[in-house]
Amino acid sequence: MPDSPPPVSRRLVLAGGIGGATLALTGCDLIDDVLGGPDDTGAPGVSGAVTPTAPAADADSSLVGDTVEAISTTGALAAAVAAGFPALARRGARLARIHDAHAAELGGAVTAAAPAVPGDPKQAWATLLAAEAELQQRLVAAAQQAHSGALAQVLAAMAAALAQQQAVLA
């Protein structure tokens, strides 16, 4: 059986711990100096290698605002079709509820005025389906333009939900 390693003294462990902590703290200061950390004037460093900058908090604000407006317009059309045609009430109301949920998810609400709906149920349904397809494409484009990954995922999920509804309701 092999011999066990020699015991390590407490002094050696304590000295090694203090030396390691000193090296770690000194190393952090050296890294800041090399990579452009804060200098004596208090100005921030230039390097983005250590701390990548996130997009500004409002980088996606206009994108979200435009998207909520588009959702609101299509949601109002869906509600108007549901209210105007008893045969389309269930399908139109389903789409209107989806748009309400999507607008709420983005921090808005469906507030658009009810648009004029064609008098014929077939034309009204075709108009609504065309608006839904256009909104889906806008959501896909918005997902591609989003700076925030989380926002892009939400917008892509909304586009997928509309695509699914179009497939089911068509």
What are the pLDDT digits (tens) for 59-82?
Answer: 788 999 999 999 999 999 999 999
For residue 72, give every residue at least 6 positions away whose Cβ sits within 8 Å of its Cβ, in sequence order, or none. Answer: 99, 103, 108, 109, 110, 111, 112
For 73, the enclosing helix (H) or strand (E) is: helix 61-84
Residues of the chain falling short of pLDDT 50:
31, 34-35, 40-54
What pLDDT sits at residue 47?
45
> Residue 50: its pLDDT value, please?
42
3-state secondary structure (DSSP) of residue 89: helix
